[in-house]
Each structure stands twice: as C-alpha cells, then as structure tokens.
C-alpha cells in the first residue's frame, strides 16, 4: 500500500513515483494535461529529506502539447509527445538531467504511457531540446546532444577557463567549463585522496561554498574527476577511459551521481588528452557506474554525447 506524507500543499492527494538512476533519486508526478498547480515551494517541500519525502529533483510527466510555451517546440519536434518538466530539489527550473531522463523513459514505459521495446527508441522533450532514449535490457542510452565549451578559444588554447577554490583542497585550481545543455565546471585531481578530502557544501548551506573565478552567471554544476587510466573493452577491443568523480549539483548539493556531469567529465577528459583520447569512458560515481560515448571529437559539428546507465522505480507515495 502506498505511504502517505504531508508536505507540499499543491501536491495534496497526488501520487508521486519515486525512483533513481545510479542513486540519483527523483520524484515524478504523472500529470499529462498539467492539471496540478505545483509551486517551487511545493517541490522544495516534497524533496526535503527530513520534512518531506526526499529527492535530488522533481519531474512532472506532461504531454508536450499541454505545456504552456511549448507549442513551437512541439511543432519542431512532433515525435516528442512527452516533456520532462524538470526541477532541482530547491524548486528552481533546470534545463536537462541525464539520469532523470533515463528514469523518465522507464516510467513512461512502465506506466503504459509509451511502449518501448528492446533496442527501440523514444524521443522526449526537455528545456535543452529533444532527447532520444534507447532501451538496452535494464539500461537506457540517452543521446544527450552536443557538448559545447562556453569559452571555446581560451579552453582550446589553455585547457581551462575558470579558477576554482574547493574547501578541503589546497589553493586555487584550474577547471574547464562544459555545457551539456546545463552548465558544468570540471576539475581534474591528481589522486583519489584529494577527491575524498574535498568538502562539498550541501543544499542547506552547511560548510564553505565553492568559489569560481569568473563566477558563472547562471550558477554551475561542479565535477571533481580523477583519471584512472585506460582499459580494453573485451568485445570491441577499443580503449575505454576510466575515471572516478564526485558531483556538486546546482540547486541540490552533493549527489551520488549526475548524468550530465558524467558527460561533461568525459568531454573534458577527451579535450585534455587530445586526438589520442578514448571515445568511450566509464565514470565511477558514488551511486554506481555510467558509460559515456564521446566519439573521436565531441566538439565537432553534429557530434553528440551518449550516456548509458540503469533506472529503477522504488516507491509510490500519496502526498497528504
């Protein structure tokens, strides 16, 4: 029997689906016609891990045609019948989330809102554009679209464009800005001990914040990544880059995984290594493992980044 909890007045009486993708957890409201009057405060309340249900983000599952302002998008991408109306845990709007996209597609299929067979694909709408997802057994692969370096000339010339100070790490560090439809800053560390010692402030403001120079106008997600060398894929014989990372998500705090963050980290590793870089990466996060395919040049015109990982439904909860 579904449990009943109290926060979130605009969600009162509504059933939420809880799930996760590599322990990056989300609450989903299936609201095809966008009937629910949900505020940022409602979202923050249900995502609160002490007073609410708890989640890293909130997703409204809505028909694209029912979303105000999405008519032009619906005309440009008529195959995207469903829109992932995504919000951070603090109620702020976010452009896209790779882990949430996999769970979104899994929920559509599981709830009978779409029929996605093995190795079949479905296209969904996001604020960063249309995204195609392909089912591979228990895994989903998301075409995350193109990667972009916001400060391309400086990034290409120097390999970095932002100076970052992270509590727990000594001194100012050079980092690279990468856009995956949402903003990311990727910082490479020399050893796993540094990764473990970094102090990433939580959503409620505990601890010292990370400092960026220049400060990002719209905020940023931060990825701390430690390259762990390369291995050989037993099936293809191709080199696969291996790295471990931690994530500080904008509007959330530290999370156990980030899909767009894994993509940004793989793109940064590829840019730093140059033409000899692997085309595939395994990113080890606290919540498990994500696969990222960046191709021979992730910044080439028409190139897209592919993200692969699992998604699971864990509970149904009725808000009191």
Q: Are residues 257 and 176 in the same domain?
A: yes
Look up the domain containing 10 and give its range: 3-143+311-319
Residue 31 has pLDDT above 70, yes or no: yes
pLDDT tens, position by position, 105-164: 999 999 999 999 999 999 999 999 999 999 999 999 999 999 999 988 778 778 999 999
Q: Are 137 and 159 in the same domain?
A: no
Instruction: Quote the CA–CA distance of 164 and 18 in Å, as a whole number.
Output: 34
Same domain, 132 and 201: no
| Chain segment 254-298, per-residue pLDDT in tens | 999 999 999 999 999 999 999 899 999 999 999 999 999 999 999
In a shared domain, residues 156 and 298: yes
Encode pLDDT of 40-93 as tens digits.
999 999 999 999 999 999 999 999 999 888 888 888 899 999 999 999 999 999
* CB of 172 closer than 8 Å to CB of 136: no
Record the pTM.
0.92
Of the listed ranges 62-71, 137-146, 172-181, 235-244, the one predicted with least confidence: 62-71
Bridge partners, 59 (sequence order): 28, 86
- Write the CB contacts of 317 (distance below 8 Å, at least 6 apart in sequence): 2, 3, 4, 5, 15, 16, 18, 27, 53
Tell me: do 138 and 228 sit in the same domain: no
Q: What is the mean pLDDT of residues 25-54?
A: 95
Q: Given a cut of 50, is residue 1 above it in pLDDT?
A: no
Whole-angstrom distance between the N-terminal and C-terminal Cα of the chain? 14
On whether both 75 and 160 belong to a single domain, the answer is no
Q: Kindly state whether residues 102 and 31 are assigned to the same domain.
A: yes
Kindly state whether residues 105 and 167 are assigned to the same domain: no
Residue listed under structure tokens 């609450």: 27
Residue 220 has pLDDT above 90, yes or no: yes
Query: Looking at the 3D structure of the chain, how many domains does it have?
Result: 2
Res. 206 pLDDT band, cuts 50 70 90: low
Tell me: do 117 and 157 sit in the same domain: no
Residues 235 and 263 in one domain: yes
Q: Give the CATH number, domain containing residue 117.
A: 3.10.310.10
Residues 160 and 126 in one domain: no
Contacts of 79 (CB under 8 A, 6+ apart): 123, 130
Do 12 and 98 share a domain, yes or no?
A: yes
């Amino acid at each position: 029997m579904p449990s009943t909890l109290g926060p979130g007045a605009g969600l009162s009486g509504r059933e939420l689906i809880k799930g996760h993708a590599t322990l990056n957890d989300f609450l989903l409201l299936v609201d095809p016609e966008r009937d629910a009057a949900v505020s940022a405060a409602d979202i923050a309340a249900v995502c609160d891990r002490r007073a609410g249900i708890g989640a890293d983000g909130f997703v409204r599952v809505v028909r694209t045609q029912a979303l105000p302002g999405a008519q032009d998008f619906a005309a440009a991408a008529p195959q995207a019948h469903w829109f992932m109306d995504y919000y951070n845990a603090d109620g702020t709007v976010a452009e896209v989330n790779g882990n949430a996209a996999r769970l979104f597609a899994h929920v559509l299929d599981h709830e009978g809102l779409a029929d996605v067979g093995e190795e079949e694909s479905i296209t969904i709408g996001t604020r960063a554009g249309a995204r195609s997802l392909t089912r591979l057994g228990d895994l989903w692969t998301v075409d995350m679209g193109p990667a972009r370096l916001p400060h391309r000339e400086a990034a290409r010339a120097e390999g970095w464009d932002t100076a970052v100070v992270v509590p727990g790490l000594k001194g100012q560090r050079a980092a690279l800005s990468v856009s995956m439809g949402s903003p990311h800053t990727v910082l490479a560390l020399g050893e796993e001990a540094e990764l473990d010692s970094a102090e990433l402030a939580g959503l409620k403001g505990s601890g010292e914040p990370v400092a960026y120079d220049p400060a990002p106008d719209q905020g940023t997600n931060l990825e701390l990544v430690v390259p762990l060398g390369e291995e050989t894929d037993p099936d293809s014989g191709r080199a696969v880059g291996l790295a471990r990372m931690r994530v500080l998500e904008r509007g959330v705090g530290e999370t156990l995984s980030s899909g767009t963050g894994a993509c940004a980290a793989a793109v940064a590793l590829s840019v730093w290594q140059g033409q000899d870089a692997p085309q595939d990466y395994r990113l080890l996060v606290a919540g498990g493992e994500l696969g990222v395919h960046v191709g021979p040049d992730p910044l080439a015109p028409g190139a897209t980044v592919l993200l692969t990982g699992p998604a699971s439904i864990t509970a149904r909860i009725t808000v009191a």
